[in-house]
Amino acid sequence: MAIMEEEVVKIAAQGAVTELVINRPQTLNALNADVLNSIILAFEKLAEDPSIRVVLITGAGEKAFVAGADIAGMADLGPRAIADYVELGQRCMRTIENFDSPVIAAVNGYALGGGLELALACDLIFASRKAKLGQPEVNLGIIPGFGGTQRLVQRCGIGTARRLCFSGELIDAEEGKSIGLVDKLCEPEMLLEDVRKYAALIASKAPLAVRKAKSLLRQAHAVQLLGGLRLEIEAFLELFASADREEGMRAFLQKREPKFKAV
């Protein structure tokens, strides 16, 4: 197995299947700009190799796939910087979504906020039975900004998207499977083995046919998705300028309950 290790992303290639590991376990693999840029760079490099038929994404450590965006890094960003950050996040998710071959998320722990949005950008989601999933952005006075409002609707339907985005509640992998968010449940110790076996199954099929199937499935909702993603960015930036957002993030960092005032 050949390994390329970058500061925040590790890539391991084994035959037609490549594994990409988000490598910030000390922050529960939180998505800062370095991680997002590294993911984009990794997929751009992988796109140059026609022998790659499946990509697997997971998180380093035992606790988290990706626990969300890097709130400590976001809290003090100004209008231009936060706009750049959200645009970068959406570009990262679109890079994964538009990759020619299938991408499988191996959710080994928390997949919250931007972490769930990362999983949603993948074609398939396999989850450990210990995984927790959710879009808890409303607890911070914001909304999902990396495509969550749009891809949740596509994957689970409007009712589930409303519930998760309005309440910010976390659900377990079992419930995730029942609502169509998770494609397959795995025992924690078997997650990577199960995903590798399924990736190998896909990789054994005719690659041109698999890639064409992915392209057509993606295009089925492309126009609606692109329009919705632009609206999501605009709404996110509007909320980021609010006092509620500032209170929500300060409360999160200070480990206390926020006091929202709708201003």
170-221 confidence digits (pLDDT tens): 999 999 999 999 999 999 999 999 999 999 999 999 999 999 999 999 998 8
Label residue 5 by pLDDT band (50, 70, 90): very low
Residue 3 has pLDDT above 50, yes or no: no
- Give the bridge partners for 29, in sequence order: none
Amino acid 172 reads D
- 117 noted as active-site residue: yes
Domain chopping of the chain, boundaries: 2-189
Q: At residue 12, what are phi and psi to the nearest 5 degrees?
A: -125, 125
At 3, the amino acid letter reads I
Place of tokens 């300060």: 250
Mean pLDDT value of segment 158-180: 97
pLDDT higher than threshold 70 for residue 6: no
How high does pLDDT run on average in the chain?
Answer: 94
Position 263 scores a pLDDT of 65
Minimum mean pLDDT range among 18-22, 72-76, 153-157, 241-245: 72-76
Q: Could you report how far apart the first and last alpha carbons of the chain are, in Å?
A: 54
User: What homologous superfamily does CATH list for 2-189?
Assistant: 2-enoyl-CoA Hydratase; Chain A, domain 1 (3.90.226.10)
Catalytic position from the list 19, 97, 117, 232: 117
Helical ranges in 179-259 per DSSP H: 191-203, 207-219, 222-240, 243-254
> Does the pLDDT at position 230 exceed 50?
yes
Q: How many C-beta atoms lie closer than 10 Å to residue 41's C-beta?
A: 13
DSSP per-residue letters across 112-173: ETHHHHHHHHSSEEEEETT-EEE-GGGGGT----SSHHHHHHHHH-HHHHHHHHHH--EEEH
Indicate which residue of 19, 137, 174, 257 is catalytic. Answer: 137
Length of the chain: 263
Residue type, 44: E
The SS3 call for residue 78 is coil
Report CA-CA distances (Å) from 67 to 51, 111, 170, 229, 241.
Answer: 31, 5, 12, 22, 23
- Say how far apart CA 80 and CA 173 lie, in whole Å: 37
Residue range 45-95, pLDDT digits in tens: 999 999 999 999 999 998 999 999 889 889 899 999 999 999 999 999 999
pLDDT at 7: 84
